[in-house]
Structure 1
Amino acid sequence: MSKVVQRIDLDSMSPGTERFVKAHRYGKPGARPKAYLQASLHADEIPGMLAAHHLIGLLDDAAARGEIKGEIIVVPVANPVGAGQVINTTFAGRYDFRSGINFNRRWPDLSQGLAAKVKGKLGKDADANIAIVRQALGETVDQIYAIGENARLRRELMRLAHDADFVLDLHCDDIALMHIYTTNQFWPRAQDLAADVARPRCCCATIRAPPRSTRASSCPGTGCRRKSVQTIRCRRRS
């Protein structure tokens, strides 16, 4: 299947204006594996947009050669709401002007009620169980009552990402080491990705379990797949 650019309209909060999200879709919908990548959820973090822009060019070439396997979705500007927030020529897209909430905080917890949805449906077939859980997550996303453009934005991004095998959310800072932030549940599976990033650091967060800390894993770089890594303890960022 050739590339499709999907436009997703948001609920505008100002008369006479409109905002929308563009999703660049490659491969066959529903094919596996599925990879989802979004950039600049914190809309003042512009380098992610640039990286996604160059990635789209590479994927366009790969699609023209028929090399896309599975399904790939790229959202280069994941937060058009924050991208429109400018004060005295300075981007201020980290917090929502209307609510004051960080754009990367207080998202709906899709795990709430998930156990009840899949109760009695899971068996010994792992692939079948994954499909059942993904369907339940999709139903949960569809049931979100989104009022306003920011709530609608979150629902639509989750709708694109909830059933992906790989989800990459690109962030940046003024001064920072290249690193991958994941969870203990996804380590060491994330080690291959870390090996493909130039001299990365890997931070594995403990989710809903004491102590409130992370393990930051140093990886020597490309070619280090599945090798043991040195770990240090560090304070979890709020």
Structure 2
Amino acid sequence: MPRTVEQIALPVTRLGTRRALAVHRYGTPGARPKAYIQAALHADETPGMLVAHHLLRLLDHAPVTGEVVVVPVANPVGLAQVVAGTHVGRHGLDGDGNFNRGFPDLVPGTEALLRDRLGPDPAANVPLIREALRAAHAAHHPTGEVGALRHALLGLALDADLVLDLHCDNEAVMHLYTGDALWPDAADIAAELGCRAVLLAR
């Protein structure tokens, strides 16, 4: 399947440096279903990048129905954080905290845009909610490199039908974290991934 690669430039915060987010796309933009996969938001959790690398090779030869978006290196900022030979890509060294936290809350803006617009048909509501999420996201103006990174990743993921955020631990069986409202609907993907445990949280 033909692949397109988009480079999303991050703001330059240090003289002489430049970073970008590489976004690999398959299928038809805007087609359904849309799957979004990102790896190593905690940049010191590198196995996800290897998984994404092999996934890209498989997708290059696979028929894609809908759209698949893969960001194999979701955190080029953290990937560059090596101190005295130790990779410290979990927290921003500039004080921006855990890379996996602090994403903008789009709910208030989305809720305001949807007031009195939703009806009794859930399927008809989905495109309205996606449209409102995109508008709330567009109204948010991040500051700094990490803020821009979070904003870009959120924009890529927010309208997907399936989102996989690949993390790892020092030693663990395959497991899945998901929202309790998504269970048991996520049982099929958990089984396909060979998960030995599923953890639910609000």
TM-score if structure 1 supplies the norm length? 0.82
Deviation at 1:113, TM superposition (A): 3.0
Match of 1:230 in 2: none
State whether structure 2 residue 172 is matched by structure 1 residue 176. Answer: yes
* Distance in 2 of aligned mates of 1:41 and 1:147: 19
In structure 2, how many angstroms separate the alpha carbons of the residues matched to 1:93 and 1:72? Answer: 26
The structure number with the bigger radius of gyration is 1
Residue in 2 that maps onto 1:37: 37
What is the correspondence of 1:1-238 to structure 2 with a 5 Å cutoff? 2-62=2-62, 67-205=63-201, 207=202
CA distance in 1, matches of 2:102, 2:159: 20
- What SS is found at the alignment partner of 2:137? helix
Greater RCO between the two (CA within 8 Å, min separation 6)? 2
Point out 4+ residue stretches in structure 1 off by more than 4 angstroms. none
**2:7 is paired with a residue of what secondary structure?**
strand
SS at match of 1:56: helix
Superposed CA offset, 1:40-68 (max 9, x none): 00000000000000000000011xxxx11
Q: C-alpha separation between the residues in 2 aligned to 1:188 and 1:97?
A: 38
- Cα deviation for residue 148 of structure 1 reads 0.8
Describe the SS at the equivalent of 1:48.
helix
SS in 1 for 2:78: helix
Aligned residues: 202
- Tell me how large the CA RMSD over aligned residues is: 1.2
Q: Call closer, same or farther: CA 1:146–1:199 in 2, change over 3 Å.
A: closer
**What is the match of residue 225 of structure 1?**
none
Q: What displacement does 1:199 show?
A: 4.6
Q: Which runs of 5+ in 2 are unaligned?
A: none
2:154 partner letter: M
Once the two structures are TM-superposed, the CA of residue 122 in structure 1 deviates from its matched residue by 1.1
Q: Distance in 2 between the 1:71 and 1:88 partners?
A: 41
Partner of 1:217: none
CA distance in 1 between counterparts of 2:35 and 2:164 reads 8
Q: TM-score, normalization: structure 2?
A: 0.96
- In structure 1, what is the Cα distance between the partners aligned to 2:96 and 2:25? 32
| Amino-acid identity (%) | 50
* Residue ranges of structure 1 left out of the alignment (5+ in a row): 208-238
Return the offset for 1:16.
1.6
